[in-house]
Amino acid sequence: MTFPSKSFLDESYDSPQDHVADTRAEALPDRPDKPEEACGIFGLYAPDEEVARLAYFGLFALQHRGQESAGIATFDASGSHCYKHMGLVSQVFDDQILQDLSGHIAVGHTRYSTTGSSHVCNAQPAMVPTRLGELALAHNGNLVNAADLREELLDRHHDLVTTTDSEMIAFALAEAVNDGADWVSAAETAFNRCYGAFSLVIGTPNGILGARDQQGIRPLVLGVLGHDLPEVGQPAHYVLASETCALDIIGATYVRDIEPGELVWITPDGIISRQWAEATQRKLCVFEMIYFSRPDSIVNGESLYSYRRRLGHQLAREAPADVDLIMAVPDSGVPAAIGFSQQSQIPYAEGLIKNRYVGRTFIQPTQSMREVGIRMKLNPLKDVLEGKRILIVDDSIVRGTTSRKIVQALRDAGAIEVHMRISSPPVTHPCFYGIDTDNQDQLIAATKSLEEIADQIQVDSLAYLSWEGMLAATNQEPGSFCSACFTGKYPVEIPEPFKRAKLKFEVKEPVAT
């Protein structure tokens, strides 16, 4: 059976076997000291609005969550329309493409690959036909039972074209629809086959679905266009997004978070909410708080800038230093560095200037440029640093490679001492829920002591924030966050083969702080 649809990928579609250069491995041979991005998802029900254009700007606000590919699917009376490709949001779309994406429903995605290679065929939204029409699925997170689910689906489907767990969720939903269920019942059936972390926005010809996993590991918020909140059950122009910053850019008002285990169904009749599964204890990824989400996004009623500044306050109390200046690794370390300065009464200064226009690129610098090190992205201010004892604040160290280059650049600029403070605990365990933290043996804090890390990155002193301090600064119940990358306590059980692939050994004692 075929359904009306339109794809702009026909001429450039790569098969799963066609290689597209992986920007992480090839263009950035020295990978950064950060856990690498999650994904950004966006959905919109808005008759009489240019939904593709609004989705474009929503994705633009979520670009920090993924820079490998972007896509938008829309729905109108004629069916579905989709365009997706490799690159940044501003590189993938232009005015003509957005005009061709007509409709009253839009689903958007900006991707960083954690499951599935960096190929254009794995770009989202995933488009799958059903007896009720085509669906478009955008996913943030990782399923831990993807291998088992794929085997189940292959028994009935032989057209799985990607390597992503996202497409498996889409096929599970389509399978339930084709077995006779309506969209909501089919979604409940499909989601109960999925284990792990998933926030989803799913467009259909009849309405738009939004859902979170039972623990709420990955974020998803609900908003309405404009500033007037509708009465319960009344029609409105609804928005779903990974973060509130995507609501702000299009003039939408935040309503609430989608709850763990909740499904919302948005149609011309309004919005309904169902618990597709009994919610367990909330386990929002704490790295969303520390690093991933934009500092202007609202979580638990306040901006993440405020939380990150409190991390700096706590860090200054736990690990003071006798220095002349406090500075940050821009941009992610800035709020904590300001907090450290406020608490310690030591002046804050900008010691590194970031080139914000250096993105992922396939063009390699010359050998002499590579020898200069970090300065294509971060350039030190010699007149600020010369002759000074510097304390630099960053939010995390994963591998240690970039940190060492930054420290060397500060010394080359004349700093006589360089101390480092990290506003999170040591990352000792890999993530299985949608963040790329590498295998455990590539995590510097899993293999080295505090003194060995300090020696490797060549700082005069090094300290991490305590796990207790990180959670206390949230002003929330400490047990409501997933912090498995610091503790190895995973809230969703990991199948042994999947676990063994990344978890190489047991860290007996955390690195001292």
Q: Which parts are annotated binding residues?
A: 285, 332, 394-395, 431, 482, 485
Q: Which parts are annotated binding residues for [4Fe-4S] cluster?
A: 285, 431, 482, 485
| Residue 171 placed within a domain | yes
| Residue 335 placed within a domain | yes
Domain holding 199: CATH number? 3.60.20.10
Claim to verify: residue 269 and residue 313 sit in the same structural domain: no
| Residue 299 placed within a domain | no
Claim to verify: residue 274 and residue 345 sit in the same structural domain: no
Q: Does residue 271 register a pLDDT over 90? A: yes
More confident residue, 117 or 497: 497
414 secondary structure, DSSP code: T
Claim to verify: residue 259 and residue 328 sit in the same structural domain: no
| Residue 12 placed within a domain | no
Through-space distance between the first and last CA atoms of the chain, rounded to whole angstroms: 61
Query: Is residue 353 within a helix (H) or strand (E), and if so which, with residue range?
Result: strand 352-354
3-state DSSP call for residue 106? strand
Per residue in 120-164, pLDDT (tens digit) is 667 899 999 999 999 999 999 999 999 899 888 888 766 666 568
| Residue 192 placed within a domain | yes
Claim to verify: residue 336 and residue 269 sit in the same structural domain: no
Q: Mean pLDDT check: name the lowest of 405-414, 444-453, 459-468, 501-510.
A: 501-510
Model confidence band, residue 404 (pLDDT cutoffs 50, 70, 90): very high
Q: Please give the tally of structural domains in the chain.
A: 2
Claim to verify: residue 254 and residue 326 sit in the same structural domain: no
Q: Which parts are annotated binding residues for Mg(2+)?
A: 332, 394-395
> Nearest to residue 404, comparing CAs of 462, 338, 326, 357?
462
Please state whether the predicted TM-score (pTM) of the whole model is above 0.85. Answer: yes
Claim to verify: residue 186 and residue 48 sit in the same structural domain: yes
Q: Mean pLDDT check: name the lowest of 26-35, 177-186, 311-320, 395-404.
A: 26-35
Model confidence band, residue 2 (pLDDT cutoffs 50, 70, 90): very low
Claim to verify: residue 101 and residue 183 sit in the same structural domain: yes
Could you tell me the residue range of the domain that residue 149 belongs to?
40-280
Pairwise CA distance, residues 198 & 143, whole Å: 7
Claim to verify: residue 192 and residue 255 sit in the same structural domain: yes
Claim to verify: residue 182 and residue 330 sit in the same structural domain: no
> Nearest to residue 415, comparing CAs of 452, 383, 461?
383
CA dihedral 140, 72, 104, 44 (to 10 degrees): 30
| Residue 1 placed within a domain | no
Cis peptide bond upstream of 29, omega within 30 = no
| Residue 292 placed within a domain | no
Active site residues per annotation: 39
Per residue in 327-367, pLDDT (tens digit) is 999 989 999 999 999 999 999 999 999 887 665 555 666 76
Claim to verify: residue 242 and residue 374 sit in the same structural domain: no
Q: Does residue 102 register a pLDDT over 90? A: yes
Domain holding 445: CATH number? 3.40.50.2020
- Final residue in a domain of this structure, among 244, 261, 280: 280
Q: Does residue 217 register a pLDDT over 70? A: yes
| Residue 511 placed within a domain | no
Pairwise CA distance, residues 198 & 219, whole Å: 9
Claim to verify: residue 241 and residue 325 sit in the same structural domain: no
Pairwise CA distance, residues 44 & 138, whole Å: 12
- Two tokens, residue 41: 């998802």
Per residue in 299-310, pLDDT (tens digit) is 999 999 999 999
Claim to verify: residue 188 and residue 238 sit in the same structural domain: yes
Mean pLDDT of the chain: 87
